[in-house]
Structure 1
Amino acid sequence: MVLVLGSFLVLPILMALWVSLLHWDGQSNPFSGQADFVGLDNYRTLFTQDGLDRTLFATALRNNAYYVLLTVPLQTGLALVLAIVVNQRMLRGRGALRTIFFFPSVTSSIAVATVFLFLFQGSGAVNALLSWIGVKGPNWFADPRGVLSLVLGGLGLVDPEHPTGLLAEHSTMGLSWFEWLSGPSVAMCTIILLAVWTTSGTFMLIFLAALQDIPRELEETAALEGVNRRQLLRYVTLPALRPVLFLVLTLGLISTWQVFDQVYVMGQGAPGNTTLTPAFLSYSAGFDNADFGQGSAIAFVLLALILVLTGFQRWALRERGARTGRKR
């Protein structure tokens, strides 16, 4: 087992780490000395050197951050609600409902993304439904405007087309503060909807297995104490689900920061790089621009970011026992 893991997991990671220190176009052996060793230049290009590479990387981080902040809570909350619904013992057709809710998770992500392209196009079914209630839907996959900036613009607080003031005058990593805080684009929101719809079924099964492991005696005791459904959920169910909740949030965090296939099918960064993600940017740097060193550097920055956020999440969801005072 050690040899297998070392050959197919640890060794490729170490090889990719070495490539991230090179300027390598993929046409030679990176271990033969034919590739140029540049040290940490690939990482400096992403964080400290002004230019297109840093701007694109910052844009990808911004897009993916909004994707994570919206997708993980929505898919986790929806999965928990679905699990509670299908766990009702008096509910008829529970097996059929489980199959229906889980079906999107086992469908090819490429096929589902293609269907969403037809549904959300300018003359698609979504806009047709919106027109029935007098709403003119946008051209979803061609709209680069940030949702938050549109809301603030509708309230008259900012001008999305010509922002001024502090948010427009200051910048970080090549992007103005207004661009950082403008929210996910309309195009990115459709990808978020796709992700929530296709992943909630899998997490529903995880929650469902955990719910069925909760001893019935706890619920019966709570019922005898006069606990209502909301109190039962807050004080009995959720504390019992804490380890599973951490698992679901961790899996969701990792998968959302690594999103690639939906982006590849539904826009490849368009419109205006508002659906660009670090995973796709890493792929594009290596296979489109023949700069595998920078592509590997982006991948390792993404790995470090995931590890840090996972550690913070573990700390935030840790068991907090009562503090014991010192005996006198």
Structure 2
Amino acid sequence: MLGLFLVVPILMALWVSLSDWNGQGSPFSSGVHFVGAQNYSPLLTKSGLTQSDFMTSLRNNGYYVLFVVPLQTALALGLALLVNGRRLKGKGFFRTAYYFPSVTSSVAISVVFLFIFSSSGVVNSLLAKVGVDGPAWFADPRGVIHLALGAFGINNDAPPSALADTTIGGLSLWDWISGPSVAMCAIIVLVVWTTAGTFMLMFLAALQDIPLEVEEAAEIDGTGRWQRFRHVTLPMLKPTLFLVLTLGLIGTWQVFDQIYVMTRGGPAKTTMTPAFLSYQSSFINNEWGQGSAIAFILFAIIVAMTLLQRFVLRDKDEAKAKAATRRAAKAARSGSGPTTGAA
């Protein structure tokens, strides 16, 4: 079943990314030819609109990941600690309330947020009560870092020449450091609110697996609440933390439905993501090879980020022990005897 519905479609998509298939008929027909990296080069090496759009989508998605993953992880852990409190009453109600947005249709929530963040919506009405003139959220392409720099006197219309004249991947350095747009910030709020409940349940299950005697022993030793959390609770949550961060990275790099419903990549392409660009290239522009190429570049990015995260969150003592075991086994095979002092 996995081979039929997972492996085979992936291999078919890989072939499409390396061929000139136009979406008509079978991609394995005699009229479809192998073109190698021709679908990848406009995205990565050839200057032009295609590369500019792809790099813009990577920039947008990079800022999206940078904000969403830490925020949703911190919020989920905070909610789990709150629900796991010994003195909290009505734990079942709070678990359900926090988890409810995660099981609600993302399309329905996106439509609701369109009204909440409209120019005359609830958010701007609340801001007006404290004397703040709220923006037109989903029509504002300005980056938040650009806005912050503007507060320090840097003119967004005339940025420093060192940043404006240096380009990487078809975008100037000034464009790269724009930060998420105002429109993207509204989507970030939506996603953090809807996903934190799922990860809260994962953290809650891990918290409930921590033996009560461990925390009581730490409390008897005179540790404060923050010390117990940092030195006892958090280390025991490391496997769950790795799982949450991994799922968060995968989900945020693949964001599509909120973008499709709320902005379609606008305004000024500031909410366009690689997943949406892949859809647009394939189903709108009929460039199926290029759309598949974007999907596989995105796959490579997700794998690289996951491996990097695994390296950062690795257990150093366990890694040293495994390395020592491998060295001892290698020495035994070579006949030189076990090494000493490897740890």
TM over 0.5: yes
Instruction: Tell me the distance in 1 between the aligned counterparts of 2:134 and 2:11.
Output: 48
Cα RMSD after superposing both structures: 1.2
Amino acid at match of 2:191: A
Any idea what the Cα deviations from partners look like across 1:254-288, whole Å, max 9, x if unmatched?
Answer: 00000000000011101000000000000000000
Residue 110 of structure 1 is matched in structure 2 by 107
Q: Rg bigger for which structure? A: 2
2:239 is the counterpart of 1:243 = yes
Q: How does 1:146-157 map to 2 (within 5 A)?
A: 146-156=143-153
Give the secondary structure class of the aligned counterpart of 1:200.
Answer: helix
Residue 26 of structure 2 is matched in structure 1 by 29
Residue 164 of structure 2 is matched in structure 1 by 168
Q: Which runs of 5+ in 2 are unaligned?
A: 322-339
Amino acid at match of 1:133: V
Residue 182 of structure 1 is matched in structure 2 by 178
**What is the aligned-residue identity percentage?**
59
Amino acid at match of 2:103: V
CA contact (8 A) 1:28 1:35 kept: no
Instruction: Tell me the distance in 1 between the aligned counterparts of 2:139 and 2:20.
Output: 35
Amino acid at match of 1:85: L
2:285 is the counterpart of 1:278 = no
Residue 89 of structure 1 and its aligned partner are, at CA, apart by 1.4
Residue 75 of structure 1 is matched in structure 2 by 72
Residue 37 of structure 1 and its aligned partner are, at CA, apart by 2.7
2:205 is the counterpart of 1:209 = yes
Amino acid at match of 2:236: A
Q: 2:219 aligns with which of 210, 219, 223?
A: 223
Residue 248 of structure 2 is matched in structure 1 by 252
Residue 33 of structure 1 and its aligned partner are, at CA, apart by 2.2
Any idea what the Cα deviations from partners look like across 1:106-165, whole Å, max 9, x if unmatched?
Answer: 110000000000000111111011000000000000000000010011111x21122122
Amino acid at match of 2:77: L
Residue 95 of structure 2 is matched in structure 1 by 98
Q: How does 1:299-310 map to 2 (within 5 A)?
A: 299-310=295-306
Give the secondary structure class of the aligned counterpart of 1:90.
Answer: coil
2:126 is the counterpart of 1:129 = yes
Instruction: Tell me the distance in 1 between the aligned counterparts of 2:49 and 2:209.
Output: 52
Q: Which runs of 5+ in 1 are unaligned?
A: none
2:308 is the counterpart of 1:293 = no
Q: 1:320 aligns with which of 316, 320, 323?
A: 316
What TM-score results when the alignment is normalised by the length of structure 1? Answer: 0.96
Any idea what the Cα deviations from partners look like across 1:16-44, whole Å, max 9, x if unmatched?
Answer: 00000112221122111212432101111
Aligned residues: 323
Give the secondary structure class of the aligned counterpart of 1:37.
Answer: coil
CA contact (8 A) 1:79 1:200 kept: yes
Residue 327 of structure 2 is matched in structure 1 by none
Amino acid at match of 2:206: A
Residue 48 of structure 1 is matched in structure 2 by 45
What TM-score results when the alignment is normalised by the length of structure 2? Answer: 0.92
2:207 is the counterpart of 1:192 = no
Larger relative contact order (C-alpha < 8 A, sep ≥ 6)? 1
Give the secondary structure class of the aligned counterpart of 2:316.
Answer: coil
Point out the more displaced range, 239-248 or 16-25: 16-25
